[in-house]
Amino acid sequence: MRWFWIDRFLDFESGKSARAVKNVTLSEEHLHDHYPGYPVMPGSLILEGMAQTGGILLGETHQFQHVVILAKVPKLAFHSRVRPGDTLIYSARLIEAREEGGLVEIDAHCGDRLVANCEIVFAHLEADAGGAAANQKNFVFEFGLADILARSQQNG
Amino acid sequence: MPSQQEIFEKVRQTLVDALGVDDDEVTPQATLIGDLGAESIDFLDIVFRLEKSFDIKIPRGELFPENLTAADSGFVQDGVITPSGIAELRKRMPHADVDKLAANPKVENIQELFTVEMVTKFIGGKLGA
């Protein structure tokens, strides 16, 4: 399984906002354990999708030159459940983008139904920070996540 | 121009939002790290919120200087801040109570410079209050 929690970008306005889609399907293994007989997409993975949408929005402002890591989730609220067959739309707005990090607001909807909303603070890891964190160099982008953006533009 | 009290109230709300503390914990003397439980990443969040709340720009390192105690800075020796280190702190943090630190210049006391009052003074200076 690949750690992609968005399928495609629907809109991408550099330095401002992005909308990404995640189609939820019963073929996702974890849904059969969460919960047996009643599959619900885990909130942690909805947050991951929001973070991937927001992280790419921020990373793109610096042409993915920084190591963008999720530093803090100051606000997060879940409002409704996500079931197989649902189409999640993550809408991210870039509030701050600075040399040392950024702040993104994101909400998740299924149709008109609000699923979750959050604020995420991302930090840019210094290249000379060393240690395990630095070894995950661009962990968000290294696994081809940023390619989702490129592919979405081709699709468009 | 807002009064110091008005600035303090907005700083208080910023810290309540960023750190999840109760508003009565945010007193002028409270230290961000020791009393309010701030971690390094919270400083970035606090800067974002202050900029938004007061409609100002806070350049990197201006409110919360970085690398003050780097090994090669010459500002710390045997766990104590050197006189040149104290002078540097006065220069870089005119909004902080460096006198108090100078009286007991252990390196671990640096974090006591980061008080709610320091933030309020910094914002006051930015706004020309």
Considering the domain architecture, whether residues B49 and B93 belong to the same structural domain is answered as no
Percent of chain A surpassing pLDDT 70: 86
B40, closest residue in chain A (CA to CA):
A71
Considering the domain architecture, whether residues B45 and B4 belong to the same structural domain is answered as yes
Touching check for B62 and chain A: CB below 8 Å? no
Considering the domain architecture, whether residues B29 and B86 belong to the same structural domain is answered as no
Q: B95 is in which domain, residue-wise?
A: 65-110
Considering the domain architecture, whether residues B123 and B106 belong to the same structural domain is answered as no
Q: Rounded to a whole number, what is the distance in Å from the CA of A149 to chain B's nearest CA?
A: 27
Number of domains in chain B: 2
Mean pLDDT of chain A: 88
B-chain residues within 8 Å CB-CB of A123?
41, 44
CA dihedral B45, B120, B21, A73 (to 10 degrees): -10
Identify whether A32 is a catalytic site residue: no
pLDDT tens-place string over residues B108-127:
999 999 999 999 999 999 99
**Catalytic-labelled residue, pool A32, A34, A66, A124:** A34
Higher-confidence residue of A73 and A141: namely A73
Touching check for A103 and chain B: CB below 8 Å? yes
pLDDT tens-place string over residues A116-144:
999 999 999 866 555 445 444 445 555 56
Superfamily of domain A8-155 in the CATH hierarchy: Hotdog Thioesterase (3.10.129.10)
Contact A121 B48 (CB under 8 A): yes
pLDDT tens-place string over residues A25-40:
999 999 999 999 999 9
Considering the domain architecture, whether residues B99 and B41 belong to the same structural domain is answered as no
Report pLDDT for A55. Answer: 95
Report pLDDT for B83. Answer: 92
**C-alpha span between B44 and A101 (Å, rounded):** 8
Considering the domain architecture, whether residues B3 and B58 belong to the same structural domain is answered as yes
Considering the domain architecture, whether residues B36 and B50 belong to the same structural domain is answered as yes
A121, closest residue in chain B (CA to CA):
B45
Report pLDDT for A145. Answer: 75
Report pLDDT for A132. Answer: 47
Considering the domain architecture, whether residues B28 and B85 belong to the same structural domain is answered as no
Per-10-residue mean pLDDT of chain B, 129 residues long, equals 92 95 96 95 94 93 82 83 92 93 92 95 89
Considering the domain architecture, whether residues B119 and B57 belong to the same structural domain is answered as yes
Considering the domain architecture, whether residues B2 and B40 belong to the same structural domain is answered as yes
ipTM score of the complex? 0.80
Report pLDDT for A138. Answer: 46
Mean predicted confidence (pLDDT) in A98-126: 94
Touching check for B42 and chain A: CB below 8 Å? yes
Which H, E and C letters describe B1-27, residue by residue?
CCCHHHHHHHHHHHHHHHHCCCHHHCC
| pLDDT for A106 beyond 90 | yes
